[in-house]
Amino acid sequence: VHVHVARARKRQPTADEVWARARALAGLPLSRLPGFGVARGKGAVGDMVERALGIERSASSPDVPTVEVKTLPLVGLRAAESTWVCRATPSSLQSETWSTSRVRRKLARVLFVPIDRVALRVGTAFLWSPTEDEERMLRADWEDLADLVARGLGFAVSARRGRALQLRPKAPHAGVTRAARELDGTPYRTAPQAFYLRRTFVQRVVEAALADPARW
Amino acid sequence: VHVHVARARKRQPTADEVWARARALAGLPLSRLPGFGVARGKGAVGDMVERALGIERSASSPDVPTVEVKTLPLVGLRAAESTWVCRATPSSLQSETWSTSRVRRKLARVLFVPIDRVALRVGTAFLWSPTEDEERMLRADWEDLADLVARGLGFAVSARRGRALQLRPKAPHAGVTRAARELDGTPYRTAPQAFYLRRTFVQRVVEAALADPARW
DNA sequence: GGGGATCCACTGTTGGATCCAG
DNA sequence: CTGGATCCAACAGTGGATCCCC
């Protein structure tokens, strides 16, 4: 008899274990990360770091219950890129408030793993949670952007909007669209978008971390 | 510049073209179908026949606007199997009536391509639409089964129910479940099910076709 | 015999992000 | 410099059905 057994997923490590492992990666050349030479594409470093931390990727589950792991590409002390947060779909945003939002949950505790893009090494990981000031900015941007997306106006929003958060396309290519429904049920198609932390916002986070060595 | 160009899909053939090609396949050994030795699994013959008819498979589109192509495995003059019709999901059935149902649309015009499982050859294709009698049976079964599924009671329905249509599991394995919602919005998980034409019903169709050579 | 379980290919979606023209 | 476009892997979902104990 064939009996299906769900593939045994390794237990996800605890937040403390992830923290300890991330700190142990400091200084490691990227070439020594597990999967180097195998992982490809723009997310290759992110995938390798997650593997090094013992995190099994699986659709629709947070990295670790209470910690979101993000690589943070640096060129010198400059944050090189904006940071992807999560998808911005009309349907989910129609039923979210800031307090219940995925953006807020994901950003509540982030373990940033700096990546030195010049030396090609992993940097010293640090934990970040939004300060009161930062949370106010994020909330204001989210409430503005989420409202527009929820009302089916996402297509009209440019990445220029928002000080901390921005809305940008997120798809394999510009031809992709997804089915969505107006609040009144009318169906339409829209290009997938996502919330990103602006590069300048990430830069502030880097500088605050450097200024507070107690955190690293 | 990279510009995305949707992969040029070949124009789907018209119903007449499909009919002509299907008739031309009569007598062909399965080993001569395109993709023989490449296509594998339980749907291999179905896939090869569709290729031979020039039908490009793509998710979420009917085979040909107004014709549904189905292989019909025969052992002698005996229909060997039941025939899959379409998924039976609570959410879609909550908003369907018999007139608007996918079951009715799919079965409105079916091009059956018999497959001789003894001689391993393609048989003579024939078109089928439900007679008034058959449609009454299908409708009665559908209204009974769809109502149960829509109300979240699909799990309690066995394949014994229904004279023409039956409800059976449809999944890679018995461990698969899908998210669904009660009529009142309460979420639950349920094993995927699908509508099938009973083998005995398919047998009637075969016999009727044999008795009416005008149709082939 | 047939009800319940299962098999394969292909595409769509998601999570990881970085690329690059203007 | 950065807004808009894109890259890859892995997994889930769909459409094509048949398999195989009881």
Chunked into runs of 10 residues, chain A (216 residues) has average pLDDT values of 61 90 97 94 96 79 79 98 97 94 96 98 97 98 97 96 98 89 88 97 97 77
The per-residue pLDDT for A106 is: 95
| pTM for the structure as a whole | 0.85
The per-residue pLDDT for A216 is: 63
Q: What angle is formed at CA A128 by the lines to CA A122 and CA A130, rounded to 5 degrees? A: 150
pLDDT band at B10 (very low <50, low <70, confident <90, very high): low
* Radius of gyration for chain B, computed over Cα atoms and rounded to the nearest angstrom: 19
d(CA B156, CA A79): 57
The beta-carbon neighbor of B175 closest among A6, A173, A174 is: A6
Is strand C in 7 Å reach of the CB of B171?
A: yes
Distance measured from the CA of protein residue B118 to the C1' of nucleotide D19, in angstroms: 17
Within 7 Å of a protein beta carbon, the nucleotides of strand C are: 2-19, 21-22
* Least confident stretch, A1-10, A55-64, B21-30, B94-103: A1-10
Chain A residues within 8 Å of chain B (Cβ atoms):
2, 4-6, 173-175
Is strand C in 7 Å reach of the CB of B159?
A: yes
pLDDT band at B185 (very low <50, low <70, confident <90, very high): confident
The per-residue pLDDT for B211 is: 94
- Direct distance between the N- and C-terminal alpha carbons of chain A, in angstroms, rounded to an integer: 54
Question: Exposed (0-12), middle (13-18) or buried (19+): which is A184, by Cβ within 10 Å?
Answer: exposed
Distance measured from the CA of protein residue B111 to the C1' of nucleotide D16, in angstroms: 15
Judged against a pLDDT cut of 70, whether residue B6 lies above it is answered with no
d(CA A142, CA A131): 16
d(CA B18, CA B29): 19
Please give the structure tokens belonging to residue B80. 């060997």
Is strand D in 7 Å reach of the CB of A200?
A: yes
State whether B174 and A6 contact (CB < 8 Å).
no
Judged against a pLDDT cut of 90, whether residue B142 lies above it is answered with yes
